[in-house]
A and B are shown apart, each in its own frame.
Chain A
Amino acid sequence: MPEFSLPDENRYSQDDEWVRESGDGLYRIGITDYAQQQLGDVVFVELPEPGLKFQAGQAFGVIESVKAVSDLCMPVSGEIVEVNSELEDAPEVVNEDCYHGGWLIGIRIDDAAQFNGLMESKAYGEHIASRSDD
């Protein structure tokens, strides 16, 4: 099984997204190293307008690799405050640097308890491993 980078500073969702606190109730969200490896070359990312609100589990955008189109789903509920517009011209940054340059959206979280309910890196690592064993 290939190695995946799983920084401890993030929390992780079942749907292979990471969430990182940036202070004042703001959080950044992206897809994990595992997810980007599974997708292969990311060629297109469609992100929402700032100001829109989404519930946890709701699709907020779309990510396309050469072979597949996938919905991006909110790991927590909140309002979009910023999107990574650099990905419009350089979607490959999601593959190259998924935890930093390849972030997708910044949100204001509705309820910080939802963040604390997400997985820590160790639990998420086990979550990936259990799936690969199938």
Chain B
Amino acid sequence: MSETRRTPLYARHVELGARMVDFAGFAMPVQYDSIKNEHRAVRETAGLFDVSHMGQIHLSGKTALESAQRLLTCRVDTLEVGQVRYGLLCNSDGGCVDDVTVYREGPSEFMLCVNASNIEKDRDWIRDGLVPGSEIRDRSSETGLLAIQGPKSAELLDRLCHAGEEPNPSALGRFRFSAYTTQAGPVLISRTGYTGSDGFEIYLPAEVSRALFDLLLETGQADGLVPAGLGARDTLRLEAALPLYGHELDDTTSPLEAGLARFVKRKQGGFIGHEAIEAREKQGRSRQLVGFELLERGIARADYPIVSGGRQVGRVTSGAPSPSLGTSIGLGYVPPENAAPGTELAIEIRKKNVKARIVTTPFSKNS
């Protein structure tokens, strides 16, 4: 067992009274006050997350674009400098190595933001898949990452950035990023997130993380900004039906089964796993990711059986009570014939079948 790692904000979380848990080998705050309150703050005002556990792998060299096109399922050739896109890294069997966001920082410079649990795996896999003339550098440990999410985040962030020639962060379009100078130092801000609400992610040198975290909290407190933990991050992303690697995605799941076809350049091709993905599609899909809501009391947790006609047809990948909807929701894999919205089936919870219904996602209209 390797030792639990700490983000630069560890001591600050403890000071704020956070309950710390081990997540992907990092000691992370799961909640400060209450998950429900933190969730509500993000939907109604704003929440501040430390997500410094996530990894950043930089790709450069004269063939960097070629490498990125080969490694990622999404199109990178059409990505403009200053634009960011969601995509997947697939293995040669068409399963998902990871789901990532790719930032184009220059014509031949890219940054991949990857899941904490996959940093080492991704690094090795990317290195093996590089076209000659490309190189990578893992800057995960020297990079801090904060996420400010919620309808008030644009206004709060503007206050901290010097008004120069650069437009304020509020002027950034969705999935755009730019460099800014804050009172705490230089940062890179992108209009992205993992909550289903408007918001920003802020990449910065690890040693500056604490100063900016405190500055943001101080500036935003009167407007309802609260520190938010991984618990709220999970219920927020679930309402938005955003996949979590290790739950909805893994090395055996094809992005198409996970409903992520729009992030796969099926026509253009040329990426690792393309042929396998198409071959699997041709064979016919055996399972598909769906969203469901429980019609009776209970919580559908990961790996609980999904039951139809008295037999198990699938399994739950994530589930929780939705703070925004007041119902109990979840995601899971079922055969295509059970996947239509409106289909009624059951979730087996502690040997009892609890009625559920397939619904369209995202669950929350708010997100």
Q: Which residues of A contact B (CB under 8 A)?
A: 2, 37, 40-41, 43-44, 62, 64, 66-67, 69, 88, 92, 95
- Of A62, A64, A67, A92, the residue contacting B231 (CB under 8 A) is A67
Q: Which residues of B contact A (CB under 8 A)?
A: 17, 19, 21, 30-31, 34-36, 231, 234-235, 297-299, 301, 320-321, 350
- Of B19, B30, B350, the residue contacting A62 (CB under 8 A) is B350
A44 and B297 form a contact (CB under 8 A): yes
Chain A residues whose CB sits within 8 angstroms of the CB of B321 once the complex forms = 43-44
A41 and B21 form a contact (CB under 8 A): no
Chain A residues whose CB sits within 8 angstroms of the CB of B31 once the complex forms = 40-41, 66
B297 and A66 form a contact (CB under 8 A): no
Contacts A66-B35, A66-B234, A66-B235 given; does A44 touch B17 at CB 8 Å = no
Provide a sorted-by-A list of 20 A–B residue pairs whose CB atoms are within 8 angstroms: A37-B19, A40-B19, A40-B30, A40-B231, A41-B34, A41-B36, A41-B231, A43-B299, A44-B298, A44-B299, A44-B321, A66-B35, A66-B231, A66-B234, A66-B235, A66-B320, A67-B21, A67-B231, A69-B301, A92-B34
Chain A min CB distance to B30 (Å): 7
Chain A min CB distance to B24 (Å): 14
Contacts A40-B30, A66-B231, A67-B231 given; does A2 touch B36 at CB 8 Å = no
Chain A residues whose CB sits within 8 angstroms of the CB of B34 once the complex forms = 41, 92, 95
B297 and A88 form a contact (CB under 8 A): yes
Chain A min CB distance to B237 (Å): 13
Q: Tell me the interface secondary structure of chain B in the complex.
A: mixed
Nearest residue (CB) in B for A38 is B19
A94 and B89 CA atoms in complex are apart in Å by 43
B35 and A40 form a contact (CB under 8 A): yes
A2 and B17 form a contact (CB under 8 A): yes
A92 and B301 CA atoms in complex are apart in Å by 19
Chain B residues whose CB sits within 8 angstroms of the CB of A43 once the complex forms = 299, 320-321
Chain B residues whose CB sits within 8 angstroms of the CB of A62 once the complex forms = 350
Chain A min CB distance to B138 (Å): 29
Interface centre among A37, A67, A69 (most CB of B within 10 A): A67
Chain B min CB distance to A89 (Å): 9
Chain A min CB distance to B42 (Å): 15
Given A92-B34, A95-B34: 8 more A-B contacts, CB < 8 Å: A2-B17, A40-B31, A43-B320, A64-B299, A66-B231, A66-B234, A66-B235, A67-B30
Chain B residues whose CB sits within 8 angstroms of the CB of A66 once the complex forms = 30-31, 35, 231, 234-235, 320
Chain B residues whose CB sits within 8 angstroms of the CB of A69 once the complex forms = 301
Those 6 A-B pairs whose CB atoms lie nearest each other, nearest first: A41-B35, A43-B321, A66-B231, A44-B299, A41-B34, A64-B299
Chain A residues whose CB sits within 8 angstroms of the CB of B17 once the complex forms = 2
Chain B min CB distance to A112 (Å): 32
Nearest residue (CB) in A for B21 is A67
Chain B residues whose CB sits within 8 angstroms of the CB of A64 once the complex forms = 299
Nearest residue (CB) in B for A68 is B301
Chain A residues whose CB sits within 8 angstroms of the CB of B320 once the complex forms = 43, 66
Nearest residue (CB) in A for B34 is A41
Chain B min CB distance to A72 (Å): 13
Chain A residues whose CB sits within 8 angstroms of the CB of B35 once the complex forms = 40-41, 66
Chain A min CB distance to B29 (Å): 11
A72 and B297 CA atoms in complex are apart in Å by 18
Chain B residues whose CB sits within 8 angstroms of the CB of A67 once the complex forms = 21, 30, 231
Chain A residues whose CB sits within 8 angstroms of the CB of B235 once the complex forms = 66
A2 and B15 CA atoms in complex are apart in Å by 11
Chain B min CB distance to A12 (Å): 22
Chain A min CB distance to B305 (Å): 15
